[in-house]
Structure 1
């Protein structure tokens, strides 16, 4: 017996219709709470007040409404919603990175990973990774018919590709990736890009199921400071440059496009990560269409890797949280392969425990949280759809800028992409330094201990002038912690203007801020003091307390409060301690004073 047809639930029945203007008025009322009458934003300004700026000129609004649009389908051009429909039992390729130059250790790590859930192997070959000659030993225990293998290199891409091809020989394989991207490698090392010798290697991959030849590594530009938009745009330009060269060498683009994979950064901004992956497939389909590639072959294989730029050396277990968010974003963005870098990768070569956490992060997401059961779970979310459109539009405009400049090779030689990275990195550095973009465990809620695990260091990558070196967001604060450690964890005198119970919140604020630079607080008199006072409490007693501290031998007094609260006694202090200041510069100045005091005592 069939059930009678039921009318859809009329959830809005009985309610008056609401407009965007109604919502704006409600937002304005909320934002005006606690302010003098007439001091809050009006309805028109209220919506702008909720807008948040992202890197690359992107922004997010406070409200997204349904729009009439064709969402498309997964596995159908332009592939925004996915290259294929997911297999719920294996939603994506769990790919682990191996770069330990000791072949015996790498061989053991590879086998351990494959036995515990990893589905493909990624070897980084070259001067700062595994030697090309050691590739056969590292892969000795790998069943090539079950586990795909990909290689990458900055200094020896041809050697890495040939080593893998020689090892595979005529064996049946589950997949293979040669990792060829000479333009990104040149950007990372500062060498001139060498596109000779590509065609024979690419030609060996044509027609092989599951094989890829070109891997467009957009992480190089992103790790160097550029925005996700810039990195995606330059990756597209690199692809076009390689397609043009291969076509000149006799390879039809229609045969090469199916052999392309794009490696993209996944950050703790999960929705931006998903939007970038979705936009990458859309834009690649447009490039492939312009190359005359059949529609069915325009799908882009994507490999998402947790961003090195967001990783911190200090309090490394917070990296597990960042990696989890990034892996989730890569999942909802439809990445074909995902790599979670171990939480201790910044400290050096990861050990077994770090690798275990890294692989289990995405295995748990896929198998136990069931994140991968749905293809494009964010499809139809007007926020994600709008952000995807915005990323695609901005990246395409940047791509056109590179093409107008003569293409990827010319943009690299002229320094255009270096300027992109420098501008974006400087803008973000200001946000990080003022803690407008807080880094948990680094600039906020830092661990006063030094839990950085000892690890074997990586070999340095040989570079020349023009190399784009990675710039991690946490690096300035880590440098401050290193300076403080060298000074023996300097102690700041912390005093309150009145009973502690009245100032506990600001005292905790001051302790947290000072700890970000490796400074500890105490009652003993030292070169630097912080005076904590409640709102409106500076006028009474501030002068006497500052003079008492200076008479006791304190050379530098800061006030934990806002500049507009200092009143007439502002000339008594050498600086202010409050949200919005350049914390990196402030803490560096404090460490300079401790250094001067130490040098003076030694003299």
Structure 2
């Protein structure tokens, strides 16, 4: 009888993998594309395939065992955290957000959510949501000892907290109520510019720790940095700096170190870049574990993280694609180990969500939890050399940013001085350029737009008052393309027709199709419809701008003549799909060009304001 080995070597039957051999094979491919030559050194091959994140973290094509996991699940560094319960692994908290001002409608929606898979409630109160005075009515029938309630009241946070505590006391659930009062004075400064020192919130936290042991008081909401266009490290560094400021205020108010840590929850954004989102949550736990270690907190202290699918990635155009974006982001949150997850409804950019969109949002999480069994695996990303490496690199970059904020006097001082705003703005400009050049494509907006779409109608969502010169901006990645589409829609409403560009094709269909399709897709991203045909049919098209589309060979043979013919037929401007320079061609469109600039110019040329 053969005794099986203690360790099964899956690669034992294969020759050992060698890095230089891999580089040689890749070099052969890159030579055919022109990206490498025979003289390119092997050690430079990986650099040709490496891209850099907005945090300067290199994303390479090959990772090995040298990029290994930092520890075992549940142990020091807390990167690989588990969700324990009495029988093994529990899923994350499915948290649905509600911001409808009508108390009766909000109560009905909350109860429907709780009956259908949601496990906690996130309530936006005040100017941007439900009136604070209506809170008791909205929560009538909600068992606050079973379903945690998280408040988000901005400038009305103290009033909302007292209203909720009075409700809990009235129900006799002081010792069992769950949730978070949502005070976040530094986050409020980031959002609105309003100065709000942490000390009063710390005083309330001391009372809550004594009288309401199941409640937390403070939320470190880092989403304003993400929503202003910031990177993952921008968000993490500011979050840790804010958390440290709150720890200082809490201990100054008389709380012990462990009590202070127990009063804080983090809120982070996750987007459709799933691997960086996974790494962000894992890095957040590592960073906060380091803070706990140097603060003398009890061993095992870990960050509680509420992950929210990104508002910045959501689009008004083709909003159905948002379902796919939020599914990927939710998957990343689950794999990254979030304690609570909120999936924003696909129609969030259009106004208040309806019953259907809320159902899709909560069922996205149910599918991942129940059908995909995502929460039944400890740290699913653990052991992936790629994820381990970017987690480590991201944590180090975020820690450097955190220490820079601390040197500037802390989170509140860095916000007041504009230090944080300046860094976030610089990140947004880099991302904005990538979106404009479609290196960061947005399906349904910058790629494959549907000019005939009919958007669903939603009730308008209340908005927080905008303070002049205060707070970080709120951006969306699609804003520039959507502004162009708005101009096209206004032109359509005023004239009955969309702006139009004529695609002048040269040669047979097989030759011009690729570039004609590319150009049509680009112009439609700005709300500009296209018609195509040979140059001689331009005059009958009704267009005043043309774009040549064909192969480089046919351009060499006839682009100059075609451009001349188009201008003689009345074309005020002639574009060319490609990069060649030809007489009569005014400008070019090509992969990597500034599509927003091209579309702004074209709309102006067509008289669309």
TM-score under structure 1 length normalisation: 0.94
Which blocks of at least 5 consecutive residues in structure 2 are unaligned?
Answer: 493-497, 533-540
Kept in 2: contact 1:314–1:451 (CA 8 A): no
Task: State the Cα distance separating 1:290 from its structure 2 match.
Answer: 2.0
- How far, CA to CA, are the matches of 2:473 and 2:481 in structure 1? 18
- How far, CA to CA, are the matches of 2:198 and 2:309 in structure 1? 28
Map of 1:280-291 to 2, 5 A cutoff? 280-291=284-295
Q: Could you say which residue in structure 2 is the equivalent of 1:352?
A: 355
Kept in 1: contact 2:560–2:585 (CA 8 A): no
Task: State the Cα distance separating 1:252 from its structure 2 match.
Answer: 2.8
- How far, CA to CA, are the matches of 2:53 and 2:274 in structure 1? 13
Q: Could you say which residue in structure 2 is the equivalent of 1:218?
A: 222
Query: Are 2:156 and 1:156 aligned?
Result: yes
- How far, CA to CA, are the matches of 2:64 and 2:596 in structure 1? 40
1:441 aligned to which of 441, 444, 447: 444
Kept in 2: contact 1:78–1:299 (CA 8 A): no
Task: State the Cα distance separating 1:95 from its structure 2 match.
Answer: 0.3
Q: Could you say which residue in structure 1 is the equivalent of 2:495?
A: none
Aligned-partner SS, 2:353: coil
Query: Are 2:531 and 1:492 aligned?
Result: no
Task: State the Cα distance separating 1:197 from its structure 2 match.
Answer: 2.0
- How far, CA to CA, are the matches of 1:68 and 1:320 in structure 2? 33
Query: Are 2:269 and 1:256 aligned?
Result: no
- How far, CA to CA, are the matches of 1:159 and 1:100 in structure 2? 19
Q: Could you say which residue in structure 1 is the equivalent of 2:168?
A: 168
Task: State the Cα distance separating 1:194 from its structure 2 match.
Answer: 3.1
Q: Could you say which residue in structure 1 is the equivalent of 2:330?
A: 327
Greater shift after overlay, 166-175 or 261-270?
A: 166-175
Kept in 1: contact 2:94–2:341 (CA 8 A): yes
Q: Could you say which residue in structure 2 is the equivalent of 1:138?
A: 138
Greater shift after overlay, 138-147 or 309-318?
A: 138-147
- How far, CA to CA, are the matches of 1:30 and 1:463 in structure 2? 53
- How far, CA to CA, are the matches of 1:412 and 1:3 in structure 2? 68
Q: Could you say which residue in structure 2 is the equivalent of 1:108?
A: 108
- How far, CA to CA, are the matches of 2:356 and 2:88 in structure 1? 28
Deviations 1:304-329 (A, max 9, x none): 00001111111011111110111111
Task: State the Cα distance separating 1:124 from its structure 2 match.
Answer: 1.0
CA RMSD between the two structures = 2.1
Which blocks of at least 5 consecutive residues in structure 1 are unaligned?
Answer: 599-603
Task: Describe the shift of the 1:551–1:157 C-alpha distance in structure 2 as closer, same or farther (beyond 3 A).
Answer: same
- How far, CA to CA, are the matches of 1:211 and 1:461 in structure 2? 26
Greater shift after overlay, 80-89 or 391-400?
A: 80-89
- How far, CA to CA, are the matches of 1:402 and 1:99 in structure 2? 33
Q: Could you say which residue in structure 2 is the equivalent of 1:25?
A: 24
2:396 aligned to which of 393, 398, 413: 393
Kept in 2: contact 1:24–1:43 (CA 8 A): yes
- How far, CA to CA, are the matches of 2:299 and 2:246 in structure 1? 20
Kept in 1: contact 2:202–2:246 (CA 8 A): no
Deviations 1:245-275 (A, max 9, x none): 2322333333110121100111111111111
Task: State the Cα distance separating 1:88 from its structure 2 match.
Answer: 6.2
1:183 aligned to which of 182, 186, 190: 186
Map of 1:479-558 to 2, 5 A cutoff? 479-488=483-492, 489-522=498-531, 524-558=541-575
Kept in 1: contact 2:547–2:577 (CA 8 A): yes
Task: State the Cα distance separating 1:209 from its structure 2 match.
Answer: 4.9
Aligned-partner SS, 1:514: helix
- How far, CA to CA, are the matches of 2:330 and 2:35 in structure 1? 45
Task: Describe the shift of the 1:70–1:500 C-alpha distance in structure 2 as closer, same or farther (beyond 3 A).
Answer: closer
- How far, CA to CA, are the matches of 2:208 and 2:253 in structure 1? 15
Kept in 2: contact 1:267–1:310 (CA 8 A): yes
Map of 1:570-581 to 2, 5 A cutoff? 571-581=583-593
Greater shift after overlay, 458-467 or 366-375?
A: 458-467
2:415 aligned to which of 403, 412, 416: 412
Deviations 1:58-102 (A, max 9, x none): 221111111386643333333211154366674110000001111
Kept in 1: contact 2:168–2:177 (CA 8 A): no
Query: Are 2:594 and 1:582 aligned?
Result: yes
Kept in 2: contact 1:444–1:516 (CA 8 A): yes
Task: State the Cα distance separating 1:3 from its structure 2 match.
Answer: 9.7
Q: Could you say which residue in structure 2 is the equivalent of 1:601?
A: none
Greater shift after overlay, 156-165 or 76-85?
A: 76-85
Kept in 2: contact 1:228–1:276 (CA 8 A): yes
Query: Are 2:226 and 1:227 aligned?
Result: no
- How far, CA to CA, are the matches of 2:292 and 2:35 in structure 1? 58
- How far, CA to CA, are the matches of 2:176 and 2:250 in structure 1? 25
Aligned-partner SS, 1:483: helix
Q: Could you say which residue in structure 1 is the equivalent of 2:122?
A: 122
Greater shift after overlay, 16-25 or 66-75?
A: 66-75
Task: Describe the shift of the 1:55–1:35 C-alpha distance in structure 2 as closer, same or farther (beyond 3 A).
Answer: closer
Kept in 1: contact 2:279–2:394 (CA 8 A): yes
1:240 aligned to which of 224, 244, 258: 244
Task: State the Cα distance separating 1:135 from its structure 2 match.
Answer: 0.9
Aligned-partner SS, 1:558: strand
Q: Work out the number of aligned pairs and report it.
A: 590
Query: Are 2:284 and 1:267 aligned?
Result: no
Kept in 2: contact 1:85–1:375 (CA 8 A): no
Task: Describe the shift of the 1:27–1:70 C-alpha distance in structure 2 as closer, same or farther (beyond 3 A).
Answer: closer
Greater shift after overlay, 85-94 or 378-387?
A: 85-94
